[in-house]
């Protein structure tokens, strides 16, 4: 059974640009969440989608947005990139609430 | 608001020694508790979880954790560690019914020969 797939694995962008990250959950998983991991702030929740609806949102500026498609695949977008957005972005999916997430390997975004 | 405190940022141990990684949480409602492991340049892997029932939870790779409601703790233990256990370990909590995880800052476990 394929795991959670995130593309691309690595990205280098310039300040002010925008970026879109992609996540394909495990087949049958309808809940997809995104987390940002940085050395300073650790792992922080960005948002969670279930059946194309955003159910939870973390404390991030409006530059961070996401969506989920009918096949449960998800994308997150960051506009007007800042140096501080450099991080590992992790996507995770779950089948049922409380089961615990299965995480992808992440997309490492570097903003220069 | 929920929070998770991992009391040790780094834990060095020798191979075959026992280890305990400490985790305390704060929440006013029932919670689900998790331990994840992260190897370099990889995502997070679920080690074990507590949802309800027995307070002693067994996970993968020989790890176990004990839920202590009165002390709001969920410490992770392994009786004998291997070099391959070297990684960063994260404790996380979610409010029952919510998929949002709140993570601790992580504990870097280094197993020396």
- A67-99 per-position pLDDT tens digit: 999 999 999 999 999 999 999 999 999 987 667
Q: What does the alpha-carbon distance between residue B78 and residue B74 come to, in Å, rounded to a whole number?
A: 13
Q: What does the alpha-carbon distance between residue A34 and residue A23 come to, in Å, rounded to a whole number?
A: 9
Query: What does the pLDDT read at residue A108?
Result: 97
Q: What are the beta bridge partners of residue A98?
A: none
Nearest by CB to A42, from B42, B100, B105: name it: B105
Residue range B50-68: average pLDDT? Answer: 93
Q: How confident is the model at residue A1 (pLDDT cuts 50, 70, 90)?
A: low
Check B104 against A56: CB less than 8 A apart. Answer: no
Mean residue pLDDT of chain A comes to: 94
Mean residue pLDDT of chain B comes to: 92
Residue labelled with tokens 């929440």 = B27
Query: What does the pLDDT read at residue A87?
Result: 97
pLDDT exceeds cutoff 80 at B113: yes
Contacts of B83 (CB under 8 A, 6+ apart): B15, B111, B113
CB contacts, 8 Å: B102 with chain A: 45
Rounded to whole angstroms, the maximal C-alpha distance in chain A is 39
């Amino acid at each position: 059974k394929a795991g959670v797939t995130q593309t691309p694995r690595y990205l280098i962008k310039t300040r002010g640009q925008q970026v879109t990250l992609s996540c394909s959950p495990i087949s049958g998983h309808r809940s997809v969440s995104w987390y940002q991991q940085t050395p300073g702030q650790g792992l922080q929740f960005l948002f969670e989608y279930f059946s194309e609806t955003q159910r939870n949102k973390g404390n991030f500026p409006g530059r961070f947005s996401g969506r989920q498609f009918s096949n449960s695949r998800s994308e997150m977008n960051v506009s007007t990139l800042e140096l501080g957005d450099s991080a590992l972005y992790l996507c995770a999916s779950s089948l049922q609430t409380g089961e615990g997430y299965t995480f992808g390997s992440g997309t490492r975004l570097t903003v220069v | 608001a929920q929070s998770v405190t991992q009391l040790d940022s780094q834990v060095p141990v020798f191979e075959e020694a026992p280890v305990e990684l400490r985790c305390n949480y704060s929440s006013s409602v029932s919670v689900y508790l998790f331990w994840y492991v992260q190897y370099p340049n990889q995502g997070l892997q679920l080690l074990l979880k507590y949802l309800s029932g027995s307070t002693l939870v067994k996970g993968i790779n020989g790890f176990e954790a004990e839920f202590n409601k009165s002390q709001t703790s969920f410490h992770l233990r392994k009786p004998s560690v291997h070099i391959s256990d070297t990684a960063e370990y994260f404790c996380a909590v979610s409010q029952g019914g919510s998929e949002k995880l709140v993570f601790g800052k992580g504990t870097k476990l280094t197993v020396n020969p």
